[in-house]
Structure 1
Amino acid sequence: MPDSFRYLGRQAIVDRQQQLVAYELLFRSSPANFALVRDDLLASAEVLRNAFGELGNVDVLGQFPGFINASADLLQDRILDQLPAERLVLEILETVTVTDELLLRMAQLRARGFRLALDDVVHLGADQMAMLPLVDIVKVDVAAVDAAHLPVLKAQLDGFDGILLAEKVDSHAQFERCCELGFDWFQGYFHSRPVVLSSADLG
């Protein structure tokens, strides 16, 4: 394919009935289904440009919201002012440092209509607890949490009134276990692997 083509990864997110509820949009720089990310902000900006510009969000997302990784820099970037807040869920990366400025910005983005998610949660430390009242979705990385500790982590989230999403669910047995524990949404190879879209695919 020509170098001028635009690429975008997309992975389904489903509910307890395995019905599609959202997509995660992923950085891809070629038809190969993997990403080498050197700069979180540039990667997310490229995803946004491709999803809402080059490829078109109607083709990419249909009626569903799109999850996108959000570094601290992206959360502060004016690019978000140009995007349809109702179409996006901003996944706050686990590398983000919590500050008063960040918490204020999260509140502002939420007030604008963005939904916020905590990404790759494996424990609830002080940073996660500070952000919890400002997010709509918590994504628990079940591949990185010991199976014996997963019920403990889930119990710690029982007071959270948003959506609990189990990510990296790679087998039907894991899916069933997460359903039993009370997770709402699911993402992983048990349902579908990411696919790579390009401007040619979407014509």
Structure 2
Amino acid sequence: MYFYAARQPILDKNKNLFAYELLFRDSIENIFPDIDGDEATSKMVEASQFHLGISEFTGNKPAFINFTLDTLTKDYPRMLTTDEVVIEILETVKPGKTLLNLCKELCSEGYILALDDYVHQKVWAHFYPYIKIIKIDWQETSIEQIQEIKQAISKFPQIQLLAEKVETYEEYNQALELGFDLFQGFFFAKPEMVKTKSLSPSQMAMAELLYETSKPELDLNSITSVFERDVSLSYKLLRYANSAIFRRRSEISTIKQALVTLGSGELKRFLGLMFATNVNPDKPSELINAAMTRAKFCELIAEDLKTPLDTSIAFLTGLLSLIDAILDESLDSILEKLPLAQEIKEALTTRKGVLAALIILVEQIEQAHWDKTSVVMEKLGLTKDKVVKDYKEAIAWADEQAQLQG
């Protein structure tokens, strides 16, 4: 059986990662509302226990998982620990004595309870002492309704407001001003403000290196000359090449020696790390993590296409697919300045061709648009198990890189 789960990040006020919501479907064909909520929840729990591994999929951050009244009654939440799950009570669950008693018990045991897509009713006041998070659909809730909710929960300081479906920085800032504590949506994956600016010498050096390593054959002389023009990058390369993880018998002391010793794969890995940490250190870590996940996913998928793509090109295309949000500049303006292969630029700007299809595929997975995912998979000739396996592996790899950076 296949388990399709996408994770959507939930960020705090400072745009740091707080948790993930896991969005589960039984199969790509079974899309809500066709699949029963009880079945979806039970299979999500089953997947986490026997197939998926919650901590493996969420990088040890809590997972928001939807629960219906039936799955709460059957004690499914207790199959997960208090550290790894936030119990999200679906908006379809009606407030009543049974639900209230379940909330009291779970809260007393240390579980965090959240109300999903909250629509205010006075009866929910009985539940407030046991609720830690209230999720509000930003696109469906008016400012007046939000103010009413804030007034209703004012005597319960433990309750945090989570703004869901926040799609722009303007919406994020507005929610922040209204007192929201947590934010879910793809605002962080879009440019904060579009402006024209020059790339720094370090950013240009990084762009040149990404271009050089995207070629089928590495030109060591060209790569060496780029490193030699940037003292900081050279120092980091030598430090990486001499790190304990490689267990070198003798110290590496020159740029060319480091490049030869690392080889193409490790060099690309190193540059990915440098890209993530240096291109814009003020950006949310989850944005960089998303770019790294896309890069690895595209690389893995490229190997299994009917007509295989160059994996280095696929990796770099995925890595740069969020560059406009990372640099806060329009994609066209950025790509004019970067010395990248034309096929990468065309994939990112025209959104046509096989490379672009890989980006579209991972975007649809991120947003759990399973019906659209199925269409792209069919066009690419990909199997379900391959896509699920590669997405999970890409997430694990990106999380590992994030830990190395930390």
CA distance in structure 2 between the aligned counterparts of 1:26 and 1:73, rounded to whole angstroms: 19
TM-superposition CA deviations, 1:84-113 (whole Å, max 9, x none): 132111111222122222211111111222
Number of the residue aligned with 1:77: 74
Q: What is the CA RMSD across the aligned residues, in angstroms?
A: 2.4
How high is the sequence identity, in percent, across the aligned residues?
Answer: 33
Q: Which of 1 and 2 has higher RCO (CA within 8 Å, sep 6+)?
A: 1
In structure 2, do the counterparts of structure 1 residues 93 and 127 end up closer, same or farther at CA, with 3 Å as the change threshold? farther
* 2:377 is the alignment partner of 1:187: no
Displacement of 1:149 after TM fit?
3.8
CA distance in structure 1 between the aligned counterparts of 2:34 and 2:81, rounded to whole angstroms: 25
Structure 1 counterpart of 2:97, one-letter code: D
Q: After alignment, is 184-193 or 147-156 more displaced?
A: 147-156
In structure 2, do the counterparts of structure 1 residues 200 and 49 end up closer, same or farther at CA, with 3 Å as the change threshold? farther
Report the structure, 1 or 2, having the larger strand content: 1
CA distance in structure 2 between the aligned counterparts of 1:188 and 1:46, rounded to whole angstroms: 24
Bigger Cα Rg? 2
Equivalent residue of 2:127, what SS? helix
Query: Under a length normalisation based on structure 2, what TM-score does the superposition of the two structures give?
Result: 0.45
Name structure 1 gaps, 5 residues minimum: none
Displacement of 1:71 after TM fit?
0.8
Number of the residue aligned with 2:137: 141
Number of the residue aligned with 1:163: 160
TM-superposition CA deviations, 1:21-64 (whole Å, max 9, x none): 000011223468x6444211110111122233211122211121
Q: Does the CA contact (< 8 Å) of 1:23 and 1:66 recur in 2?
A: yes
Alignment of structure 1 residues 1-203 onto 2, 5 Å = 4-30=1-27, 35-123=32-120, 125-161=121-157, 162-191=159-188, 195=366, 198-202=388-392
CA distance in structure 1 between the aligned counterparts of 2:108 and 2:149, rounded to whole angstroms: 28
Displacement of 1:148 after TM fit?
4.4
In structure 2, do the counterparts of structure 1 residues 89 and 119 end up closer, same or farther at CA, with 3 Å as the change threshold? same
In structure 2, do the counterparts of structure 1 residues 118 and 20 end up closer, same or farther at CA, with 3 Å as the change threshold? same
How many residues are aligned here? 199
Equivalent residue of 1:113, what SS? coil
